[in-house]
């Protein structure tokens, strides 16, 4: 028999305090009933003897010290799950908001998840073909990877995410197909709508589970959104063997919500006011990507975050980069010159690609091409820096060749139409065509064999008109 506690002792931002409570557990969920019939969810975040601090997911608006009744549920926050969730839309706390009624649950799972035992993981090796040259060739996405997009306000990260969803090809030989879990945290209504419409247009809507916490929704709910999304993803991947692509946007809003909650709780702040546990907290989300033994499904994450002031050293992108297996960085200058997707090649990286490319996966020359493109494009930056001081005319012939290569690379390799879906062969051949515009002596990352097979200045003209 659950005890009901009438009234509160303190209200502070999203937090309420109850006195004289007994037998409640840390992290436990409570229901708060208001006088006017409204009901809200809350979670225990601190216990001192008989004093408990609760965070209210829907906010404390309208709560007073006397008009409430609190009932503890005796368990942490759980999400009801079944394969019916495909095609449904939920709010940030996992409640259906599409008017189609509650989920008939197959099981319920704790949204906090549990740490995955490293020995039960399978090292991810299978690549996902996104049809986007800059990603496929240079920062290959691997099944079970967490590869964030570091973007800035106003850049085309959403468009890129939609293109990835539309074009992503997952080999069908294993698992029960492919589905998308979409978690929106503090995004504008338009953005959520854009994704919804795009999923509809591409005909994948029946394969999408959406969790929406819009920018005017309560912040505590926002801290639950990615957890609900990942719980749903893990369920589909590991119990129903599906390949799940999780898109989380915008991680910056999530971290802001965490900061707001932390400061109202009176915690000692770490860097830039973010709580000291921001790293562990982000890790508890990102580390939920992967492939595990005994299941043929996978969870792949593409978190999107907008870097405040385009600063990659800001705590949010910084800590994210230390947890995720690489990053795709978007660049404002490329965007301004009309290059879509504006992938900034040099700081972008996929840590898992080395084992998921090459013979048997993509093509045997893949790693050589990508290394050489990286190295040559790095030379382009040096040559450009020099040209900006002494003028392009004064450059040595080699540097001039690099300047030319840089322009072609951006125009033909990076730039790609929203509907252009390139196969891996096309992408790699294009890479060789571009490299063939450089003198052969400048290609020091590829061995003789590949040079003989692929280096061909005459072919460069066929590709690059």
Footprint (CB under 8 A) of another protein, residues 343-402? 346-347, 349, 351-352, 354-355, 367, 371, 374-375, 378-379, 385-386, 389-390, 394-396, 399
Nearer to another protein, 86 or 329 (CB): 329
Looking up tokens 């119990």 gives 239
Residues facing 89 on adjacent strands: 210
Among 207, 288, 366, 415, binds another protein (CB under 8 A): 288
**216: contact with another protein by CB under 8 A:** no
Nearer to another protein, 159 or 332 (CB): 332
Give dist(CA 456, CA 448) in Å, integer: 13
Binders of another protein among 124-153, rule CB under 8 A? 124, 144-145
Q: Which is nearer to another protein, 198 or 300 (CB)?
A: 300
Taking CB under 8 A as the criterion, which residues in 1-30 touch another protein?
22-28
Using CB under 8 A, pick the residue from 269, 423, 439, 461 that binds another protein. Answer: 269
In the complex with another protein, which residue's Cβ is closer, 27 or 84? Answer: 27
Q: How far, in whole angstroms, is CA 121 from its chain's centroid? A: 20
Stretch that binds another protein, among 92-100, 118-126, 177-185, 430-438 (CB under 8 A): 118-126
DSSP symbol at 21 = -
Closest approach, Cβ 228 to another protein, in A, equals: 16
List 12's β-bridge partners, or say none.
15
Tell how strand 141-142 and strand 298-306 pair up. Answer: unpaired
Cβ proximity to another protein: between 72 and 432 the closer is 72
* φ and ψ at residue 121, rounded to 5 degrees: -80, 155
Place of tokens 């200058």: 333
* Of the residues 322, 407, 418, 420, which one makes contact with another protein according to CB under 8 A: 322
Region 77-106 residues binding another protein, contact defined as CB under 8 A: none
Q: Which are the contacts of 314, defined by CB distance < 8 A and separation ≥ 6?
A: 272, 307, 308
Nearest to 224 by CA among 343, 348, 110: 110
> Could you say whether residue 261 binds another protein (CB under 8 A)?
no
> CB-wise, 115 or 338, nearer to another protein?
115
Q: How far is the CB of 321 from another protein (least distance, A)?
A: 4
Supply the minimum distance, in Å, between the C-beta of residue 116 and another protein.
6
Q: How far apart are CA 7 and CA 63, in angstroms?
A: 10
Q: Where on the phi/psi map is residue 148: left (φ > 0), alpha (ψ -120 to 50), or beta?
A: beta
User: How big is the site for another protein, counted in residues (CB under 8 A)?
Assistant: 87
Residues in 418-447 that interact with another protein by CB under 8 A: 441, 444-445, 447
| Minimum CB distance to another protein smaller for 130 or for 324 | 324
DSSP summary character for residue 326: E
Task: Using CB under 8 A, pick the residue from 19, 106, 260, 318 that binds another protein.
Answer: 318
CB of 363 to another protein, least distance (A): 16
Per the structure block, which two tokens stand in for 151?
A: 């973007």
Residue 157 CB, shortest distance to another protein, in Å, is 19
Complex with another protein: residue 322 or 418, whichever CB lies closer: 322
Long-range pairs for 212-217 at CB < 8 Å and ≥24 separation? Answer: 212/89, 212/90, 212/91, 212/92, 212/97, 212/184, 213/91, 213/92, 213/184, 213/185, 213/186, 214/184, 214/186, 214/187, 214/188, 214/189, 215/186, 215/187, 215/188, 215/189, 215/253, 217/91, 217/92, 217/186
Bridge partners of 29, per DSSP, are 43
According to CB under 8 A, which one of 4, 107, 271, 453 is a site residue for another protein?
A: 271
287 binds another protein (CB under 8 A): yes
Among 290, 341, 406, 431, binds another protein (CB under 8 A): 290
- Collect all residues with Cβ–Cβ distance below 8 Å to 69 and sequence separation of at least 6: 4, 5, 6, 32, 33
Q: Are 447 and 385 in contact (CB under 8 A)?
A: no
Based on CB atoms, which residue is closest to another protein, 325 or 335?
325
Using the contact rule CB under 8 A, the part of the chain among 55-63, 167-175, 266-274, 456-464 near another protein is 266-274
Piece in contact with another protein (CB under 8 A), picked from 172-180, 222-230, 276-284, 335-343:
276-284
Kindly tell me which of 183 and 317 has the beta carbon lying closer to another protein: 317
Q: How far is the CB of 459 from another protein (least distance, A)?
A: 23
Answer whether 165's CB lies under 8 Å from 180's CB. yes
């Amino acid at each position: 028999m659950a005890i009901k506690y009438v009234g509160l002792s303190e209200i502070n931002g999203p937090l309420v305090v109850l006195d004289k409570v007994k037998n409640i557990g840390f992290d436990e969920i409570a229901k708060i009933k208001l006088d006017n019939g409204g009901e809200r969810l809350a979670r225990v975040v601190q216990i001192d003897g008989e004093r408990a601090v609760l965070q209210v997911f829907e906010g404390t608006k309208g709560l007073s010290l006397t008009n409430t009744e609190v009932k503890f549920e005796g368990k942490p926050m759980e999400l009801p799950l079944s394969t019916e969730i495909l095609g449904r839309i939920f709010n940030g706390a996992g409640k259906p908001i599409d008017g189609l009624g509650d989920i008939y649950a197959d099981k319920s799972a704790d949204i906090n998840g549990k740490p995955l035992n490293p020995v039960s993981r399978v090292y991810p090796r299978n690549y996902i073909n996104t049809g986007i040259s800059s990603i496929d060739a240079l920062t290959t996405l691997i099944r079970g990877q967490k590869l964030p997009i570091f973007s800035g306000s106003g850049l085309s990260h959403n468009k890129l995410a939609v293109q990835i969803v539309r074009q992503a090809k997952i080999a069908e030989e294993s698992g029960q197909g492919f589905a998308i879990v979409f978690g929106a945290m503090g995004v504008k209504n338009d953005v959520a709508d854009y994704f919804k419409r795009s999923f509809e247009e591409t005909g994948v809507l029946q394969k999408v589970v959406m969790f929406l916490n819009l920018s005017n929704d309560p912040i505590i709910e926002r801290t639950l959104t990615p957890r609900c999304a990942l719980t749903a993803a893990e369920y589909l991947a590991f119990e129903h063997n599906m390949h799940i692509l999780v898109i989380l946007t915008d991680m910056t809003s999530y971290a802001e919500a965490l900061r707001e909650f932390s400061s109202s709780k009176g915690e000692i702040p770490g860097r830039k006011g973010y709580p000291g546990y921001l790293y562990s907290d982000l890790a508890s989300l990102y580390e939920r990507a992967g492939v595990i033994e005994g299941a043929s499904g996978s969870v792949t994450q593409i978190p999107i975050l907008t870097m405040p002031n385009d600063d990659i050293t800001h705590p949010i992108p910084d800590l994210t980069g230390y947890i995720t297996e690489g990053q795709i960085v978007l660049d404002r200058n490329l965007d301004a010159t009309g290059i879509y997707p504006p992938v900034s090649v040099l700081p972008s990286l996929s840590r898992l690609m080395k084992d998921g490319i090459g013979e048997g996966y993509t093509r045997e020359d893949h790693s050589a091409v990508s290394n050489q493109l990286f190295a040559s494009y790095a030379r382009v930056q040096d040559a450009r820096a020099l040209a900006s001081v002494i003028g392009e005319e004064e450059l040595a012939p080699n540097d001039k060749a690099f300047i030319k290569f840089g322009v072609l690379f951006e125009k033909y390799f990076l730039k790609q139409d929203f509907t252009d879906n390139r196969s891996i062969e096309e992408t790699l051949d294009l890479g060789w065509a571009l490299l063939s515009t450089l003198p052969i002596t400048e290609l020091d990352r590829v061995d003789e064999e590949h040079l003989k097979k692929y280096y061909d200045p005459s072919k460069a003209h066929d590709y690059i008109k």
